[in-house]
Amino acid sequence: MKVSTIEDVARRAGVSRSTVSYALSGKRSISRETRERIEAAIAELGFTPNAGARALATSQTMVIGLFVQFFEDEFSPAMLQYVLPISDAAREAGYDILMVTETDGPHAVQRILSSGMADGVVLLNVAYEDQRLPVMRTMKQPGAMVGLPRNPDDFDVFDLDFAEAGRILVDHLAERGHREVILITPRQHVYERGGAYAWRFRDAALQQAASYGIRVRSYYGETQQPLVNQQLNTILDAREETAMIVHNDAVIAALPSVLYSRGIRVPDDLSVVGVFSEDFGKLFSLPYTAVETSPNKLGRLAVQALVQRMVGPRAANAPRVELVAPSITDRGSAR
């Protein structure tokens, strides 16, 4: 039952350790018969190279650190949409995922990277002034982020083009003649904390609306029930607007039942557009036209960029900052 080492394999095949190693890696040529004997020995002993030893010898762990930040004021199921594609993409490239959810992000990054537990990291939910970035800069491992920080520096950054998303949705409503619009944004705390996507979206939307002469009333949306429903009802009580832009996962998830219960029909009584991924929409059965946030695409991009930087020669290429162009999925909820 004791796990066998490369030494056991070597002995059994009657060769030296180095020969086994070369047979495994193919970095030197090995005669046909020797290789077969080694392979047989490996099969019989059920040998698998020890990851720690290999990491020590090669200074490569084949592990990617995935740093997730869960904020109480954010809607958790959205995160999973990033995590899964990242895990899949990593595995396809031969990497495993060390998932770190510590609340003290900077400290966690420091701990994992300085002990050499990962060859590189993906940072999720990156804030404008993300405290994990200064730590990353002192480490030698490369990093890729999802979410746009103020200074991307050496890192590959991927995010949705939220400004464009805001414009697209305003256009969509403007084309249909709406003049008064409600905008529900993420919670106020998200702005204060520096969730840049929040104000990138809002600023662009407001500016675009202004250019059309559209009046926008904007609210910071809640994220916890029963507050979400209460707030929605208050907003709808006072409503004069004909359309609603929702950039808040919790609010849009709760919207169908609130609208039903008030007898407000979409799009007849109210036009609604949002910002969410296709999967998210399915999950909550959302019948609303929305800008697709493509979490799987962003996650995969991040991993691919990171992998390139980990295997590639030093400073292989300039850091990428890619704002993915949003696409709109028309589900007919505005007219």
Partner DNA sequence: ATTTGTCGTCGAACCGGTTCGACAGTAGGG
Partner DNA sequence: CCCTACTGTCGAACCGGTTCGACGACAAAT
Q: Which of 16, 29, 109, 18 lies closest to 57, judged by CA?
A: 18
> Least distance (Å) from a copy of itself to the CB of residue 63?
7
Per CB under 8 A, 117 contacts a copy of itself:
yes
Per CB under 8 A, 21 contacts a copy of itself:
no
> Least distance (Å) from DNA to the CB of residue 140?
11
Residue among 26 and 52 whose Cβ is closer to a copy of itself: 52
Cα 88 to Cα 107: distance, rounded to the nearest angstrom: 26
Cα 127 to Cα 148: distance, rounded to the nearest angstrom: 7
Per CB under 7 A, 312 contacts DNA:
no
Residue among 27 and 140 whose Cβ is closer to a copy of itself: 140
172-201: which residues touch a copy of itself (CB under 8 A)? none
Per CB under 8 A, 27 contacts a copy of itself:
no
Residue 256 binding result from DNA, a copy of itself, none, given CB thresholds of 5 to 8 Å by partner type: a copy of itself
Per CB under 8 A, 116 contacts a copy of itself:
yes
42-71: which residues touch a copy of itself (CB under 8 A)? 46, 48-53, 55-56, 61, 63, 66, 70
Per CB under 7 A, 46 contacts DNA:
no
> Least distance (Å) from DNA to the CB of residue 291?
46
49-78: which residues touch DNA (CB under 7 A)? 49-50, 53-54, 56-59
Q: Which of 30, 62, 80, 227 binds DNA (CB under 7 A)?
A: 30
Summarize as ranges the residues that interact with a copy of itself (CB under 8 A): 1-3, 46, 48-53, 55-56, 61, 63, 66, 70, 75-77, 79-80, 83-84, 87-88, 91, 96-102, 111-112, 114-117, 138, 140, 224-226, 228-229, 253-254, 256-257, 260-261, 282-285
The contact set with DNA (CB under 7 A) reads 3, 5-7, 14-19, 21-22, 24-25, 27-31, 33-35, 47-50, 53-54, 56-59
